[in-house]
């Protein structure tokens, strides 16, 4: 099980990350996402709240392979890349979405189209690249 080194754990508190999923045409789709660190499960170090209406959610349901990329905005030569598989769980009551909304000062319900709901996407890490090009 790959683990995030202590030198890069602070990046799990970043404001945004880039989520890469695989589209139905086989090409990557990249999207900026809000996320929370998941300290309870080191194999799944991050979790994301997504609307069921979004293309990235559909992509992950078709192919769970994904990458989360977090750039250190203060030191752009430093970044964290988590490659793995998405595990999708329903969040019909918005319990996790409310936690994400608390971090970002937003009500995620207001972002979702009528009749849609939310899911929790936990990224099960298969490979972690913690890079600091200053060294």
Q: pLDDT, tens digit, for every residue of 108-128? A: 999 998 999 999 999 999 999
- Cα dist. 88→36, 49, 68, 69, 77 in Å? 15, 10, 15, 19, 32
Domain 6-132: assigned CATH number: 2.30.110.10
Distance between CA atoms of 22 and 28, rounded to whole angstroms? 5
Distance between CA atoms of 129 and 52, rounded to whole angstroms? 29
How high is the mean pLDDT of the chain? 96
Boundaries of every domain in the chain: 6-132
pLDDT at site 60: 98
16-48 residue pLDDT tens? 999 999 999 999 999 999 999 998 998 999 999
pLDDT at site 2: 82
Q: Identify the weakest region by mean pLDDT among 39-43, 88-92, 102-106, 121-125.
A: 39-43
3-state secondary structure of 100: helix
């Amino acid at each position: 099980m790959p683990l995030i080194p202590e030198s890069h754990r602070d990046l799990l508190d970043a404001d945004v990350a880039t989520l890469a999923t695989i589209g139905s045409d086989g090409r990557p789709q990249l999207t900026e996402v809000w996320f929370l660190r998941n300290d309870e499960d080191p194999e799944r170090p991050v979790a994301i709240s997504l609307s069921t209406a979004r293309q990235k959610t559909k992509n992950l349901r078709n192919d769970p392979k994904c990458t989360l990329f977090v750039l250190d905005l203060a030191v752009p030569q430093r970044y964290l890349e988590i490659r793995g598989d998405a595990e999708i769980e329903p969040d019909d009551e918005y319990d996790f979405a409310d936690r994400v909304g608390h971090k970002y000062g937003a009500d995620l319900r207001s972002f979702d189209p009528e009749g849609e709901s939310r899911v929790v996407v936990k990224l099960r890490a298969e490979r972690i690249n913690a890079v600091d090009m200053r060294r």
